[in-house]
Amino acid sequence: MSKILIIHTGGTIGMTRTADGYKPDGVYFKDAIFHMDSLKAETMPKWDFMEIDPLLDSSRMSVKEWNKIGKLVADNYENYDGFVILHGTDTMAYTASALSFMFKGLKKPVVLTGSQIPLCEVRSDGRDNLITSMLIAGEGKVKEVCIYFGSLLLRGNRATKYSATGMRAFESPNYPILASAGTSVQYNESAFLEQKDIPFEFLPFKDVPIGMIKIFPGFRFDLFETLLTEKLKGVVVETFGSGNIPDDKGVLVPILKKAKEKGVVFAVCSQCPQAKVDMDTYEAGSTLKKAGAISGKDMTSEAAVTKLYYLFSICDDVMQIKEAMEKDLRGELS
């Protein structure tokens, strides 16, 4: 009989109504799940429950909470066969990506889930999301950080929030799904992360100044000069298509040159969810490449941002960070 740990971090699943809208309610949620008969069924894994304090709407999560959640898993790693992390959908893909980098040599399932409708409401999707996540975590087949939501199991660092209204809130636009749950859970084992024979290690993040900019037609790079050259250590640039940026009339090149001298790392991602950055395809992508920006390939922006946090937390050498950004570390890029 397997045993799992449920970690409640907040999010819609455990919220109740207040005059200002839905808000995490730990007392309600704990009472609700401890009284849920299905969670005591023989077919369910045994489980323990923990929560972070305070419980948060995931839009308020930061590096501090990623570390807190990571530490809870790491401290309890030996005592459980798997972990279910209940989390808001807004930033679930960021937390899942962050955890995937923090956990080196992970050999157990870490499944993030939540819901679009709180458990306290009649039409809540939280019940299935919770129960199926628990079964997946207890079964132990998939040994990586993943998101189970709306019948799909996705690799955490490949997932992105796609819908704020549909029950399928997440997509994995550049990587196959890990499983789908119909009358039974159908695993897609060929997509599982290759297991490495290395010990489990928890590598928390430092609160490094990382930024992300989304390009739009007419983007004024000059307005961001101080930010790009003096404030940030790493920047994810969300460009058009395969890595193209607007014609900057010569403004961008000196900014990038200055930033490069200061050791700022620019990672280029695409605004298209389904994409693979290739700055050689168009002349409009060449400025970034010539200035030393690196390709985020088919990484989600969530993965690229958290990967920058991870690499700057474990390494000081900018060249090594740039090299590692383009390498597959946890299945985050192809």
Note the residues at the interface with ligand ASP (CB under 6 A). Answer: 10-12, 57-59, 88-90, 114, 116
Q: Pairing relation of β-strands 185-187 and 179-181?
A: antiparallel
Which residue has the closest beta carbon to ligand ASP? Answer: 88
Beta-sheet strand order (sheet of 82-86): 46-56, 3-10, 82-86, 110-113, 145-149, 152-155, 179-181, 185-187
Q: Which among 53, 57, 65 is positioned nearest to 11, based on CA atoms? A: 57
Pick between residue 8 and residue 108 the one whose CB is nearest to ligand ASP: 8
Pick between residue 45 and residue 88 the one whose CB is nearest to ligand ASP: 88
- 3-state SS class at 16: strand
Task: Say if CB 286 and CB 279 are below 8 A apart.
Answer: yes
Shortest Å distance, C-beta 138 to ligand ASP? 23
Pick between residue 86 and residue 179 the one whose CB is nearest to ligand ASP: 86
Q: Which among 110, 102, 158, 145 is positioned nearest to 313, based on CA atoms? A: 102
Q: Please identify every residue annotated as catalytic.
A: 12
Shortest Å distance, C-beta 217 to ligand ASP? 30
Shortest Å distance, C-beta 58 to ligand ASP? 3
What CA–CA distance (Å, rounded) separates 266 from 288?
A: 9
CB atoms within 10 A of CB 315: 12
Shortest Å distance, C-beta 127 to ligand ASP? 15
- Tell me which H or E stretch contains 129: helix 126-139
- Alpha-carbon radius of gyration of the chain: 20
What CA–CA distance (Å, rounded) separates 304 from 329?
A: 12
Give me the phi and psi of 154, to 5 degrees please. Answer: -120, 150
Pick between residue 89 and residue 287 the one whose CB is nearest to ligand ASP: 89
Q: Pairing relation of β-strands 234-239 and 210-214?
A: parallel
Pick between residue 58 and residue 100 the one whose CB is nearest to ligand ASP: 58
Structure tokens belonging to residue 277 = 């950055």
Shortest Å distance, C-beta 263 to ligand ASP? 34
Pick between residue 112 and residue 259 the one whose CB is nearest to ligand ASP: 112
Give the bridge partners for 202, in sequence order: 103
Any residues with CB less than 8 A from the CB of 20 and at least 6 apart, and which?
none
